Amino acid sequence: MKKLAVIISSILLSSAATAADNYQSISHLEYKDTDGNDTISVDSTYYFSPKATLGPYDQFEYINKQTNVYGKYTDNDSSDVATIGGEYFLQDFVLGAEYSNNDIDAGSSTDVIKLSAGYFFNPNLLLKATFEDVEDGENRVLFDLAYNHQLNSTDYIGFTVTSDDEFDYRAVNAKYFMDLKQGNFLTVEGTVSDDDNRSSSWELESNYYFTKATSAFVTFNKNDDYTFGAQHFFNKNVGLKAGYGNNWDDSGYDAYFANVSLQF
């Protein structure tokens, strides 16, 4: 009888640890200080149906499938950018629209309009085309092919290949999510891009979750910029992320940032 009680207790604890939390509203407020240049940003996304986590409070499926609306505002010492948009999912199709305004303190202002349409060949494979209209600039069309390879009931490897209509710009994003069991999780994400008209770049990021509420992160890119820090959710609705950034070759470059998450 005692042994049976222990088994039942273990099952209940395991179920509680892996139970998914659901959110419909996710918002962030961030402050960043980079060598005296202050940046404040706020963003919010509302999903019209519950969005389930994969364990950690800030980890969700690789390809979003929930209709949503969103907005973001960023202000620094030289400009401010305001963005609004949304996505609508109808069976195997997704339609999107976004408007942003970049207002330079020196006097100029630029509007950007994006319209997108996508099709799910299956729940794990999405092809999407996005038309980008830049005021007083060159218009372009971007194509994204996103694929989620499910390794088991929790772990996945996600890939997104992006290119413009003339193949001048190319990018690949890959993300690995792993449930290490016992309440620990790991993510590794990398992005590589190449632009014939500019230059190439790459960035790596990894998060280790001690619990679904507490994690540590590190990033590194081609320019030898790096960041590291930690995140903690005080409950399922409120989290704080803080970190420090610098450049490997220029130690005089300092960046401090803090981000508050509100999820309901």
CB atoms within 10 A of CB 94: 20
Q: Decide which of 2.40.160, 2.40.128, 2.30.29, 3.40.50 is the CATH code for 22-263.
A: 2.40.160
The pTM of the full predicted model, rounded to 2 decimals, is: 0.88
User: Does residue 150 contact residue 142 with C-beta atoms inside 8 Å?
Assistant: no
Backbone dihedral angles phi then psi of residue 7, each to the nearest 5 degrees: -65, -45
**What pLDDT tens digit does each residue of the chain (264 aa) get?**
444 343 333 433 344 344 689 999 999 999 999 887 899 999 999 999 999 999 999 999 999 999 999 999 999 988 899 999 999 999 999 999 999 999 887 778 899 999 999 999 999 999 999 999 998 888 999 999 999 999 999 999 999 999 999 899 999 999 999 999 999 999 999 999 999 878 899 999 999 999 999 999 999 999 999 999 999 999 999 999 999 999 988 777 799 999 999 999
For the chain, the structural domain boundaries read 22-263
User: Does residue 91 contact residue 107 with C-beta atoms inside 8 Å?
Assistant: no
The sign of the CA dihedral 81, 170, 243, 181 is positive
Distance CA 29, CA 156 (A): 29
205, two tokens: 């990021």
